[in-house]
Amino acid sequence: TQYVYRFGGGVSDGGKGDRNLLGGKGANLAEMASIGLPVPPGFTISTEFCAVYYDEGGSFPQGLRDEVATGIAHIEGVTGKTFGNPADPLLVSVRSGARASMPGMMDTVLNLGLNDQTVEGLSATSGDARFAWDSYRRFIQMYADVVLELDHGAFEEALEIAKEDQGFTLDTELSADDLRALVAEYKALVEKQWNKPFPQDVHDQLWGAVGAVFGSWQSERAKVYRRLNDIPAAWGTAVNIQAMVFGNMGDTSATGVAFTRDPSKGDRAYYGEFLINAQGEDVVAGIRTPQYLTKTAREEANAKPASMEEAMPEVYAQLAGVFDTLENHYRDMQDIEFTVEKTKLWMLQTRAGKRTAKAALKIAVDMANEGLITREEAIARVDPAALDQLLHPTLDPNATRDVLTKGLPASPGAASGTVVFDADTAEKKAADNIAVILVRTETSPEDIHGMHAARGILTARGGMTSHAAVVARGMGRPCVSGAGSLSIDAKAKILRCGGREVKEGDLLTIDGTTGEVMIGAVATVQPELSGDFATLMEWADGVRRLKVRANAETPEDCRVAREFGAEGVGLCRTEHMFFESSRITNVRQMILATDEKGRREALAKLLPEQRKDFTEILEVMAGLPVTIRLLDPPLHEFLPTEEADFADVATAAGVSVDVLKRRAAELHEFNPMLGHRGCRLGVTYPEIYEIQARAIFEAACDVADKTGAAPIPEVMIPLVATARELDLMKAVVDAAAKAVFAEKGRTLDYLVGTMIELPRAALRAGDIAEGAEFFSFGTNDLTQTTLGVSRDDAARFLGVYVDKGIYAKDPFVSIDVDGVGELIQIAADRGRATRPDIKLGICGEHGGDPASIAFCETIGLDYVSASPYRVPIARLAAAQAAL
Ligand code: PEP
Ligand code: MG
């Protein structure tokens, strides 16, 4: 097998189609080189080697060593420099590059090839001793951190002390001699911590770095990132080795990152940041605050330092030309890294730019309207899950706000929460359902789990392309970055700003759209669903086949769902209505009753309440189908568990505490999910289902009389395993309908159907379809019962299962297509064989998951049902599935 692929200097062994083999970075470097853009020469060690590396226990076979030698010879040929040559040394960068971009997650080493001899050569050839020693100093620091994994704090401290000794504040004030002294100190630090001198052999340096990059694929932070982004561990990373170009060779050199369109709002304007006389990592790390790329952006931000357009007009013009070439070539918004070395422009990376949902919509719709892509491509371009960001509330413009400070609007949306100062605390509190705002001086990849757990992120340092900003945008978390007036003391858990203090646990609100940071929680308003959103949704609705319904049990949920485009209710869980405080007493009375008579008395009190619920829901959903599920959870769920509550409940229910406790003990189940629940309640206490059905039909008749539009209720029986269960329950429902219609002097169409949420039901779907006019796949329970994994206890081990590749994704989030999916397929086939026009839908959480929706499309279900806020996501996912 070939593992090494060259690029640059007129050679391209690969191209953009080779992303799986070369990783995103490697494939695009090869592609840019092949279309004639200025790319420093280099080569990529393919992702295929990553697996070999782990199989071989982290060693490098001779074959690879030979290929790498050829790759180095290629770079030497193009640059005219030689690796390790003391007179004119070739320096290289070593970077990771996986198939999917994982910003900041894996390791990079720059300036590799410097040692005590070559640093003199670099000094001579560049004519800049300061630059040479600074490069060596950076190289040792990075290598010690990334490859040798030494304590990087000690190196930073040595740098700080070197500056303080001279009264300097900036690194750039240090002279060549200062840096030479610092290098000596760094080497001593390495020897002290590592017990070996810093490697002087450039080949040892190279293999060390290559090993570290492959090793970083299995780092904790990379694993977390993969889990959050559904990236399989088996993909592996590639390693890119490339000739160094320097943005830190004086004031005609610079480095920067840019987007071909605004990644936050989607506007068609170049967007980016750069630093004069700096190396690439300086921009991303947020250590120096970068300057704007364009004059317009600088003026809009009221910033002083000249933009690149003003400071380097000629290079800027060339760069703008490259942006257009790349956008037209890739037909998508690009995220670009570049370096200017003594006025010569070099492209270091291009990739499809990460963007907010708002920008994704605007860019897709604009590009379709510009004719750059088709409408189908526009539909396919927007990640349905990202729409979530747009569907949530923003700050109420009329609410009073106590503005503490303002930073950069790094990732849009508003969030309120209690302040925490570290990622672990953020994760812990979020697990207890506490909304948190993570506040950091700057974030690093180690903070990723906390960023994910937080509602919003606030940093004191860093620009719009800092780690915090990029990651937050990718996750859809609101973020304000670079709020420079904040002074954060993470140890003392306190932040200070303008004479005020905010402590851990205090409430804070951030607005990632404006950059404002406010004390306390600020009221929010619902989003505006017009413009690009409406346009793309309309295109999507024109393409999709699957109908989209909502899981909703209150009139308010139904209203939201309709506004989001739901075409019916796919699951109304009636038990949620029972939990309401005004009713729970009657529910408990029913449960405590010892005979049917007692139960009927309590049910008679519940009937008008249920009827009212159904009336409102049917009115809101006028003209659309509404699936109402009869009672499902085990009865003990409605009884108190806390000792303190027993007395109150006993009084309210008119029984003694002893009776209440005895009944609670009787109802106790060891395995309630497989216990007395679902249609088993209806089989043992038919009067419960009878009264619920009566409430449904009375409500439907009332709504029909009142509005003139007859609703079509779909009555659904839960947790059916056998045809006989369904037949018994259907008889109860039909009898209730008949009685109500006789009383009301009218009839109505209605359907009776069942959930398919047990493997037996899926297998016997042929018999069950004799009685069922529809099936709705309850994939939460079906997953639980098929996998034998408790949906309430799975979190403890499922993470490990996903890490080890046992399940590709959490099966409660995305359908286990091979197992649960096969049962659904069987049930659909057998159900249709009995009743060709049977209506088929899905109402588990999977109904809002794009990958599961794609599966529903392949087996031809009629609809998916998702929670109201996921309805637009499902509409878009259904359209993508149909493309
Ligand atoms: C299901 O099991 O998938 C379902 C929708 O029902 P519930 O979540 O209420 O058990
Ligand atoms: Mg269920």
Q: Is 516 in the pocket of ligand 1 (CB under 6 A)?
A: no
Q: Is residue 883 part of a domain?
A: yes
Question: Cβ(843) to ligand 1 under 6 A?
Answer: yes
Distance (Å, whole) CA 534 – CA 876 = 11
Dist. CA 379–CA 149, nearest whole Å: 45
**Domain stop point among 525, 552, 587:** 525
Output the pLDDT for position 465.
Answer: 66
**pLDDT reported for residue 448:** 82
The rounded radius of gyration (Å) of the Cα atoms in the chain is: 32
Co-location of 104 and 230 in the same domain: yes
Do 84 and 173 have their domain in common? yes
Which atom of ligand 1 lies at the shortest distance from residue 571's CA?
5
Query: Is the same domain home to 146 and 263?
Result: no
Cα 779 to ligand 1 centre (Å)? 7
Consecutive H or E run containing 562 = helix 555-563
Indicate which residue's Cα is closest to atom 10 of ligand 1: 781
Candidates 94, 110, 114; CA nearest to 44 is: 94
Closest CA to 734 of 752, 714, 753: 752
Q: Which two tokens stand for residue 488?
A: 């954060």
For 506, residues 6+ apart whose C-beta sits below 8 A from its C-beta are 418, 419, 519
Asked whether residue 773 is marked as a ligand-binding residue, the answer is no
CATH code of 140's domain = 3.30.1490.20
Calpha distance 534→843 (Å, rounded): 25
Range of the domain at 218: 4-243
Q: What is the largest CA-CA distance in the chain?
A: 103
Question: Are 693 and 732 spatial neighbours (Cβ–Cβ below 8 Å)?
Answer: yes
CATH of residue 261's domain is: 3.30.470.20
User: Are 236 and 262 part of one and the same domain?
Assistant: no
714 backbone dihedrals φ, ψ, rounded to 5°: -115, 110
Domain boundary among 490, 525, 560: 525
Asked if residue 628 belongs to a domain, the reply is no
- 366 annotated as ligand-binding: no
Look at strands 408-411 and 479-481 and give their pairing: antiparallel
Residue 769 domain flag = yes
Identify the pLDDT of residue 241.
98
| Residue 757 annotated in ligand binding | yes
Beta strands in 601-735 (DSSP E): 626-629, 713-717
Please give the tally of structural domains in the chain.
4
Token pair recorded at residue 421: 């100062």
On whether both 194 and 272 belong to a single domain, the answer is: no
Amino acid at 741: F
**pLDDT at residue 285, as a whole number:** 58
The response to whether 778 counts as a known ligand-binding position is: yes
What six digits make up the tokens of 384?
Answer: 């349905």
- Read off the amino acid at residue 417: G
Q: Establish if 700 belongs to a structural domain.
A: no
- Residues of the chain scoring pLDDT < 50: none
Query: What type of residue is 72?
Result: I
Assess whether 66 and 190 both reside in one domain: yes
- 486: DSSP letter: -
Per the domain annotation, does 113 fall within a domain? yes
Distance 26 CA to ligand 2 centre (A): 47
> Is residue 322, in this structure, part of any structural domain at all?
yes
**Cβ 25 under 6 angstroms from ligand 1:** no
The CATH number for 762's domain is 3.20.20.60
Nearest-angstrom CA–CA distance, 312 and 545:
53
User: Is the domain of 412 the same as that of 478?
Assistant: yes
Same domain? For 337 and 447 the reply is no
User: Closest Cα to atom 6, ligand 1: which residue?
Assistant: 778
Q: Is 843 a catalytic residue?
A: yes
Sign of the CA dihedral with 220 first, then 221, 226, and 227 last: positive
Flag whether 12 is in a domain.
yes
The answer to whether 782 and 718 have CB atoms below 8 angstroms apart is no
Q: Are residues 196 and 339 in the same domain?
A: no
Q: Are strands 839-842 and 863-866 parallel, antiparallel or unpaired?
A: parallel
- Asked which of 355, 381, 401 is the last residue of a domain, the reply is 355
879 and 764 part of one domain? yes
Three-state DSSP class for residue 178: helix
Instruction: Answer whether 121 contacts ligand 1 (Cβ < 6 A).
Output: no
Other beta carbons within 10 Å of 501? 11
94 with 216, same domain: the answer is: yes
Q: Decide the pairing of beta strands 713-717 and 751-756.
A: parallel
Ligand 1 atom with minimal separation from the 779 CA: 3
Per the DSSP assignment, residues forming a β-bridge with 108 are 95
| Amino acid at the residue 271 | Y
Q: Kindly list the distances between the CA atom of residue 680 and the CA atoms of 572, 673, 722, 737, 827, in Å, as whole numbers in the listed order.
A: 19, 12, 11, 21, 21
- Structure tokens of 483? 């709020």
Whether residue 207 is contained in a domain is answered as yes
| Residue 694 marked ligand-binding | no
- pTM for this predicted structure: 0.77
Ligand 2 centroid – CA 719 distance (Å): 7
What is the SS3 assignment for 24? helix
CATH number at residue 456: 3.50.30.10
CA of 393 to the centre of ligand 1 (A): 27
Residue 840 and residue 775 in contact, taking contact as beta carbons nearer than 8 Å: yes
Q: Is 780 assigned a ligand-binding role in the annotation?
A: yes
Q: Is 144 exposed, middle or buried (0-12, 13-18, 19+ CB in 10 A)?
A: buried
- Does 779 sit in the ligand 1 pocket, CB within 6 Å? yes
Of 74, 449, 452, 467, which residue is the catalytic one?
467
Measured CA to CA, the distance from residue 860 to residue 836 in angstroms comes to 13
Helix (H, G, I), strand (E, B) or coil at 790: coil
**Distance (Å) from CA 359 to ligand 1 centroid:** 35
856 assigned to active site = no
From the CB of 425, is ligand 1 less than 6 Å away?
no
Neighbours of 455 (CB within 10 A): 21
CA 780–ligand 1 middle distance (angstroms): 5
C-alpha dist (Å) from residue 531 to 152, 527, 537: 49, 12, 10
To test the ligand 1 pocket, which listed residue (757, 785, 861, 867) has its Cβ within 8 A of the most ligand atoms? 757
Both tokens assigned to 451: 């960023």
Whether residue 171 is found in the same domain as residue 302: no
